[in-house]
Amino acid sequence: MRSRALTAAFVLVAALAPVTATAAEPEWLAGSPSARVRAEIGARAKARAYLDERAAELDAVAIEWLEDKEISTADGRSIVRLQQSVDGVPVLGKGAVVRVGRSGDVSGLVLSVARDLTVSTVPTLSASDAAAALGAIFGSPMVAERASLVVSPLGAGALLWQLDVRDAPGGSRYWVDAHTGELFAQRSLAVHALGRVYTMNSLETPTPADVELIELDVASDPIHLNGWGGLLTVTNYAGGTSQGGFELEQTLVPSSGQDFLYDPPALATDPTDAFAQVNLYHHITSMKTFASHLGVSIDQPSWKLTAVANALEDGQPLDNAFFSPMGQDGTFAAPNLIAIGQGSQNDFAYDSDVFKHEFGHYLTDNAIGYNMSQLFFNEYGLSPHSGSIDEGIADYLACSDNDDAELGEASLQSLGGLRDLTDTSKKCPEDIMGEVHEDGEIAGSLAWSVRELLGKQLGDQVVWGAVSTLPTGGASFGDLGRGLITTAQELETDGQLNAMQVSQIQELVAERGLDECDHVIPLDAGESKTINVLGLDLLGQLFGASCAALQSQDFQFQGLFHFSHQPDASSSVLRFQVDATPTMGSGAPQFSIYARKGQHVGLSGGGGFSLPTPVDFDLQADVDAASGELVIDGAAFDPSAEYFFLIMNRGCPSLALSVTTSSDPVTTTTSSSSSTSGGGTTTSTTGAGGSGGGDGMVDDDVDDGCDCRAAGTEGESRSAVALALLGLAALVRRRRTR
């Protein structure tokens, strides 16, 4: 019987847990500082000394560190985040998070590093060369407004140019091989939310209230909606697009004296709406105050923010709102941008949940930077979970500041997408779909449950403490659960929480399944877990292609979780059993089971935009039925080894997959066989142990012009699939909210 991953013993052991070179999940370790560490002055110095002193134990002697961020919490703690680097070049998604308590002692460490990098950091191509190569790929000139070298952490590493280009709403980030010009991946820099404010919103508080506009710069002449000591500028849309760049204006002045007392316009769709601009300033500033209560000071140039009211797309309605670290150029230049759309029927600026949710993304991105987007992939394949957590936390921050558990009453509700944080029905892994807003409801509701248990002040502390320690590189929901528990335990040590409250938080984490919600989910014998995996019917709908056409080119979707099982020492056979239930689409289930001894099934994206596919495995079983199993026995079975499993969906319908393992002794077996129940066909194949390719990201854009029925190579077709994944996730969300 294995130990549960989130027990207090796991995260607060006195001795350092052993570290192996193959460890990939972030390592959550307890602090045990020496007199040398305690003698250091300042949290950053303590963190450096701590990592240096324990480098041998951590198998991190050769690891280089760049200072990244120091987060000071409201209760006097500090969290220092350090970025792994190679010759001063950052390694994507890898680093260390060191917690320093109020006593000045190091109290914990989250370590996520790549230990076997041999990459050279001298590029063959310049940044402009890489941008030119990118333009050649897409058939149009690309101008990188920001460019930097980074190292991919997969395999021995790869040197990439990270290019930020304003070619989509909020901009896009591309990673291009610094030697060959090959496009590794891209992601959207915009973090969107559906939404359309007053003191709360136009439905719940329809009567406008006169409030003080705090931190407004009233010394300027003329007075505009500028504040925060020069760090906030509220503007209005004047032209352009989010892709090509907004044209902005700032013409609004006080209605009388220093007061901006404008009534809502006769038409909510008025593109010059003064009320919307004032509303935007007020609610964004209220969240800055909330951030200060969390211990986050917004006082550096890197936090400079331009906010846009009544945003349109080339003069057409924009039924959305977004935050983007792509920022804004020109007269109102800033490294951060929040745009609030002027919708086709409603003004998104009339629901404060919209502003505050987007501010949540702005806050976590600048203070922490753990969100790797919906279509990130790492050594486990597709890993959208950090993006989902960030959506849920942005929901929580908005709702906590408004003291209202419902998000989007005046915006999402009419679209059937109201998010209620008191809804605790979703759990991991059975309710994870891969769409960040929907999956984020697990994180948001769990955070709200902690707030209900502890009250707003302590609840906010626990939630923000957990978020502050999330590792980069694709944090899991399990990381969030661990963060909540370790933060609560620290508050117990300080006398702010009691043992029962900590135990109740542990119970909440377990009830939502976050005690076992990492990239690999362990299974006991006879234990059952359910996961969802998308089908080819959904993909075909995006392109007008049939499922059969996609199957002919070997398309398949990966389950978002791997599984592991440690057999009983007396066992002579191991069975991994899968029951499939179609949830969307038509046709019979068709899926493949992959197994590997000793470590998780290795995946490769194959470079470019290709989807992750299994490349490192020992056995494969193809199942064309509603149920099947992969059996390991005879000479192939080692009862002392841990086995890992992954499921790929080859069929038309999306599936709910119920998985079970058993490893009881048997009297008769055949070597390395597989079988099915339910009359299907199963084949078992020994896998070839290749090395994984690709990078830790996949594309986050949609190419609406692709036609999957056109002739082309397999690589071209797979690229088209990856380009469509974001649209696919949106399609899933629309279907499930009907």
At residue 584, the 3 state secondary structure works out as: strand
β-strands 562-565, 520-522: how paired? parallel
The span from the CA of 277 to the CA of 582, in Å, is: 47
Would you say 257 and 339 are in contact if contact means Cβ atoms under 8 Å apart? Answer: no
Taking residues 47-63, report their average pLDDT. Answer: 89
Torsion of CA 223, 228, 231, 235, to 10 degrees: -40
How much of the chain, in percent, has pLDDT values that exceed 90? 53
Question: pLDDT tens digit string along 9-34?
Answer: 222 222 233 333 334 567 777 777 78
Amino acid identity of residue 513, one-letter, is: G
| CA 731 to each of CA 541, 598, 653, 705, 735: distance values in angstroms, whole numbers, following the listed order | 9, 37, 14, 17, 6
Q: Could you tell me the pLDDT band of residue 267, with boundaries at 50, 70 and 90?
A: confident
More confident call, 586 vs 169: 586
State the DSSP code for 612.
Answer: P
Q: Could you tell me the pLDDT band of residue 372, with boundaries at 50, 70 and 90?
A: confident
- For 436-451, the three-class secondary structure string (H helix, E strand, C coil) is HHHHHHHHHHHHHHHH
Question: pLDDT tens digit string along 672-701?
Answer: 344 433 333 444 554 444 333 333 333 333
More confident call, 611 vs 398: 398
Would you say 549 and 56 are in contact if contact means Cβ atoms under 8 Å apart? Answer: no
Whether 259 shows a pLDDT value over 70: the answer reads yes
The span from the CA of 8 to the CA of 506, in Å, is: 9
Torsion of CA 378, 424, 349, 304, to 10 degrees: -40
Burial class of residue 205 in the structure, from the number of CB atoms within 10 Å of its CB (0-12 exposed, 13-18 middle, 19+ buried): middle
Taking residues 288-310, report their average pLDDT. Answer: 94
pTM of the predicted structure, to 2 decimals:
0.80
pLDDT of residue 139: 83
The span from the CA of 522 to the CA of 525, in Å, is: 10
pLDDT of residue 687: 46
What are the helix (H) ranges across 225-273?
none
Whether omega before 222 lies within 30 degrees of 0, making that bond cis, reads yes
The candidate with the shortest Cα–Cα distance to 169, out of 650, 731, 729, 726, is 726
Query: Strand ranges (DSSP E) for 295-387?
Result: 305-313, 316-317, 321-324, 336-341, 377-378, 381-382
Whether 213 shows a pLDDT value over 60: the answer reads yes
Domains of the chain: 8-112 (no CATH), 127-188+369-518 (1.10.390.10), 192-367 (3.10.170.10), 521-733 (no CATH)
The span from the CA of 34 to the CA of 673, in Å, is: 54
Q: Could you tell me the pLDDT band of residue 475, with boundaries at 50, 70 and 90?
A: very high
Q: Encoding tokens for residue 491?
A: 């508050």
More confident call, 377 vs 647: 647
Whether 551 shows a pLDDT value over 60: the answer reads yes
The span from the CA of 84 to the CA of 65, in Å, is: 5
Q: Could you tell me the pLDDT band of residue 446, with boundaries at 50, 70 and 90?
A: very high
pLDDT of residue 605: 62
| DSSP string for 481-512 | HHHHHHHHHHHHHTTSS-HHHHHHHHHHHHHT
pLDDT of residue 423: 96
State the DSSP code for 125.
Answer: S
pLDDT of residue 414: 66
The span from the CA of 654 to the CA of 581, in Å, is: 8
Q: Could you tell me the pLDDT band of residue 191, with boundaries at 50, 70 and 90?
A: low
pLDDT of residue 209: 81
State the CB neighbour count (10 A cutoff) for residue 433.
21
The span from the CA of 472 to the CA of 382, in Å, is: 15
pLDDT of residue 62: 86
The span from the CA of 181 to the CA of 375, in Å, is: 22
pLDDT of residue 77: 83
State the CB neighbour count (10 A cutoff) for residue 101.
19
- Across the chain, mean pLDDT equals 82
Q: Could you tell me the pLDDT band of residue 731, with boundaries at 50, 70 and 90?
A: low
